[in-house]
């Protein structure tokens, strides 16, 4: 149940709106300013259209479009006019918001960044995309980990971005550090539709966690984004599904208290708990070791798949980007 899209709000419910924003063209500072105003306008629409809404979520690329333009004149900062406008919109309309920016990075390529701002206009969570969509995206790999914040009405929120959701480790980390709602913002286009749906469902079920996800929508004359807003219950069953209509705000209610109940009471398929308590019927407390080779290798900095030397695409040159000249966390090599 989702309260008819949030029209009938439960006492412990969180009503979430997912804005299938029209894919913009943003190539100049003037276009960036107009798109910022558009997002502010849509925030106001969310409050007018559904007074019970607690949180409005905008897709990845909702501010910058899909051009992958890294022009410094278009990049945002924490105290820049774009973020200030988003904060003011949340304050003016007494609503939480989740927003997307491309963030200036003096030490390298820009970050693909998401912000959660509360209804007083304060930034409660900042996340930098850990897994840019290689080889297509030029963004710097994120360096802030996966933060979780207190959300509206007692919820715990995590935010991941687009391709992040294809890695089951991302959703598991969100749940492991306490999130009961995982937001996934995206700019995906139609070929990804099936993978989008099944990963949103699997991420929810495998971690007893709501997933709320939304893409850009419509065409910018080159790319066609798919919309496909989804709210998935903690049992993996979709509660709300949007289509491809641009600028539609798809809404639904989630109840974090039910997540907390399931995590406490479920025996069968309480997978987020059972990962670290294998076979507790046979051995007291279950096995708490780590039998996964890839985890040990990744932690030790030696991650290497058996077909490593056969992988053909290992940089962005095929997409027109120059070969990088520095290691992660390092400086440019002369």
Summarize pLDDT for 59-71 with one digit per residue, the tens.
Answer: 999 999 999 999 9
Average pLDDT over residues 177-181: 98
Is 102 part of any domain? yes
Average pLDDT over residues 265-279: 98
Instruction: Report the percent of the chain where pLDDT is more than 70.
Output: 98
Is residue 179 very low, low, confident or very high in pLDDT (cuts 50, 70, 90)? very high
Is 8 part of any domain? yes
Which element (helix H / strand E) includes 56?
strand 55-57
Is 185 part of any domain? yes
Question: Can 90 be counted among the known catalytic residues?
Answer: no
- Look up the CATH number of the domain holding residue 8: 3.60.110.10
How many domains does the chain fold into?
A: 1
Question: What domain range is 7 assigned to?
Answer: 3-268
Residues 6 or more apart in contact with residue 49 via CB below 8 angstroms: 17, 249
The chain-wide mean pLDDT, for the chain, equals 96
Instruction: Look up the pTM and report it.
Output: 0.96
Active-site residue, from 76, 98, 149, 162: 162
Is 72 part of any domain? yes
Active-site residue, from 9, 126, 129, 156: 129
Question: Can 162 be counted among the known catalytic residues?
Answer: yes
Is 62 part of any domain? yes
Is 320 part of any domain? no
Active-site residue, from 9, 60, 103, 253: 60
Average pLDDT over residues 185-208: 95
User: What does the pLDDT look like over 127-158, one tens digit per residue?
Assistant: 999 999 999 999 999 999 999 999 999 999 99
Rounded Cα gap, residues 126 and 116, in angstroms: 7
Is 176 part of any domain? yes
Q: 248, 246, 249, 222: which is closest to 22 by C-alpha?
A: 246
CB-based contact 120:150 (threshold 8 Å): no
Helix, strand, coil percentages, rounded to 5, for the chain: 30, 25, 45
| The two three-digit tokens of residue 318, written as one number | 């095929």
Is 291 part of any domain? no
Task: Report the 10 Å Cβ neighbour count for 164.
Answer: 29
Question: Can 129 be counted among the known catalytic residues?
Answer: yes
Which pLDDT score, from 0 to 100, does residue 334 have? 42
């Amino acid at each position: 149940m989702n309260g008819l899209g949030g029209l009938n709000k439960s006492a412990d419910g969180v009503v979430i709106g997912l804005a299938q924003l029209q894919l913009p063209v943003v190539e100049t500072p003037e276009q960036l300013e107009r798109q910022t105003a558009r997002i502010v306008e849509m925030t106001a629409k969310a409050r007018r259209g559904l007074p019970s809404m607690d949180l409005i979520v905008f897709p990845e690329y909702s501010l910058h479009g899909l051009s992958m333009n890294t022009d410094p004149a278009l990049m945002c900062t924490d105290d820049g006019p774009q973020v200030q406008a988003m904060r003011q919109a949340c304050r003016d309309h007494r609503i939480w918001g989740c927003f997307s920016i491309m963030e200036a990075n003096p030490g390298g390529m820009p970050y693909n960044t998401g912000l959660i701002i509360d209804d007083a206009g304060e930034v409660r969570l900042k996340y930098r995309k850990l897994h840019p969509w290689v080889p297509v995206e030029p963004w710097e790999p994120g360096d802030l980990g996966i933060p979780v914040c207190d959300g509206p009405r007692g919820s715990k929120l995590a935010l991941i971005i687009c391709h992040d959701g294809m890695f089951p480790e991302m959703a598991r980390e969100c749940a492991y550090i306490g999130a009961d709602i995982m937001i996934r913002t995206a700019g995906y286009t139609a070929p990804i539709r099936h993978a989008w749906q099944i990963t949103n469902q699997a991420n929810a079920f495998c971690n007893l966690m709501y997933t709320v996800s939304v893409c850009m929508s419509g065409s910018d004359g080159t790319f066609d984004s798919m919309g496909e807003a989804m709210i998935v219950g903690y049992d993996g069953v979709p509660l709300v599904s949007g289509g491809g209509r641009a600028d539609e705000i798809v809404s639904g209610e989630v109840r974090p208290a039910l997540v907390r109940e399931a995590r406490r009471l479920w025996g069968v398929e309480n997978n987020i708990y059972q990962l670290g308590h294998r076979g507790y019927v046979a051995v007291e407390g279950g096995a708490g070791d780590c039998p996964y080779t890839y985890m040990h290798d990744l932690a030790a900095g030696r991650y290497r798949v058996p077909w490593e030397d056969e992988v053909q695409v290992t940089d962005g040159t095929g997409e027109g980007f120059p070969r990088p000249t520095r290691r992660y966390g390092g400086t440019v090599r002369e």
